[in-house]
Amino acid sequence: MKNIKSILHLICILSIVTVQALYADQTLDESECKPRDVSARLGSLRDQGNIGWCYANVAADLMTFRYHSQLQGEEVSAGFVAITFNQFTKLKANADAGFVLPAVWFAENSGAICPQSFQDLALKSSPNLTIRDQINGLVSLKEAFNKRKRQPGTWENALSVYQKSDSFINKIALGELTEILENSSVRSFPRHLAERLCQNYLKKLDMSGVIRPTIDFIEGWKNIFPMILRKNKFQTPLSSGRDTLIRELNEQVSKNNLVGMSYNTKIFYDLSSNTEKKVGGEHASSIVGRKWIDGQCHFKLRNSWGKRCDLYINPVLKDKCDPSTGYLWLPETLLKQTISDIMYYHR
């Protein structure tokens, strides 16, 4: 009997130690994690498809949330944000990578916003069925137009693909399309065309919002000297900066604000397995809420991968994704492993 008690006592101690170790990296306690959810101000989860425009989807979420009243329930088109970013940064029209903050700035300064409903309608009517193929098709159309004198028939063949379809390009006269082509570069043509085709749907907004960014590395170095002076437990700039990000993220969620963030998708995968997908990459998503689950704070992740839950194969995320909506409840300790910056509109 004595031995059994000793064994049970040991098991109890080991359980406590395990739990303490598991949650040792938690920044937030239950009192700081009251339920919040602002996802109702947004539509269904976006799907960036086969092009790397996650940053544009987050920028569109931020603007949709900030200008909700002016948009009257419409969402900002992520595709329009992306091609605007690519034009003003002088990247290729079909370039993948980008940054949330400048994407918001360029979109706000473009004068008007095209709604997501138009993008969805245009994609459905396009001879190209994916976003990447649609943008690539417009690039090819402009390139063919530029070669029309040197390579007779090239332009006519490229245009015929659209003329044989229900493409929105057919809604404008050939003369007007030619004028847009003549006054555009390969980089700017997709945006100039989209702006013309979307002219009856464009939303002119009084855009007066101010975005605040916070970066983990900068915040970490800012914390170094106060930690030394106060003789607090020393943390690396990276871990200290991520603590700051989590607290600031949580503070904004407490204010019912939407927060965009950058992080690495390796947290979605099972890194302990030799057979499961291990790769990850820099990514951006939106945080739209939080709640306390299984002893720690979880943030409601609005990802731009549609409603697929099978992509989140990390065992820690088992049953954390809602297959009916695609929203994922992401544990604070997991998020803190790779979060690198956040951005949000001042309330």
Tell me the pTM.
0.84
pLDDT at residue 160 is higher than 60? yes
pLDDT digit string, tens, across residues 246-267:
999 999 999 999 999 999 999 9
CA–CA separation, 247 and 223 (whole Å): 14
Distance CA 299, CA 316 (A): 14
Q: CA–CA separation, 282 vs 339, rounded Å?
A: 10
Whether the per-residue pLDDT at 8 is higher than 50: the answer is no
Q: Contact 37/300 with Cβ under 8 angstroms?
A: yes
- pLDDT of amino acid 280: 79
Dist. CA 258–CA 255, nearest whole Å = 9
Residues 69-101: pLDDT tens digits?
Answer: 999 889 999 999 999 999 988 888 888 889 999
Mean pLDDT of 125-141: 91
Cβ 46 vs Cβ 61: under 8 Å: yes
pLDDT tens digits, one per residue of 182-199: 999 999 999 999 999 999
DSSP letters for 214-268: EEHHHHHHHHHHHHHHHTPPP--HHHHHHHHHHHHHHHHHHTT--EEEEEEGGGG
Residues in the chain: 347
Residue 272: predicted pLDDT: 67
36, 61, 43: which is closest to 256 by C-alpha? 36
217 and 238 in contact (C-beta within 8 Å)? Answer: yes
Long-range contacts, stretch 174-177, CB < 8 angstroms, 24+ apart: none
pLDDT for the residue numbered 11: 35
Q: What is the pLDDT of residue 345?
A: 93
268 has pLDDT over 60: yes
Distance CA 117, CA 201 (A): 9
Element (H, E) at 299: strand 296-302
Tokens of 14: 């080991």
- Residue 23, amino acid: Y
* Domain range list for the chain: 27-40+211-345, 50-197
Above 60 in pLDDT, residue 278?
Answer: no
Task: Let me know: does 78 contact 53? Beta carbons within 8 Å.
Answer: yes
Mean pLDDT of the chain: 84
Maximum alpha-carbon separation in the chain: 97
Could you read off the pLDDT of 26-78 as tens digits, one per residue? 788 999 999 999 999 999 999 998 999 999 999 999 999 999 999 988 999 99
pLDDT at site 239: 61
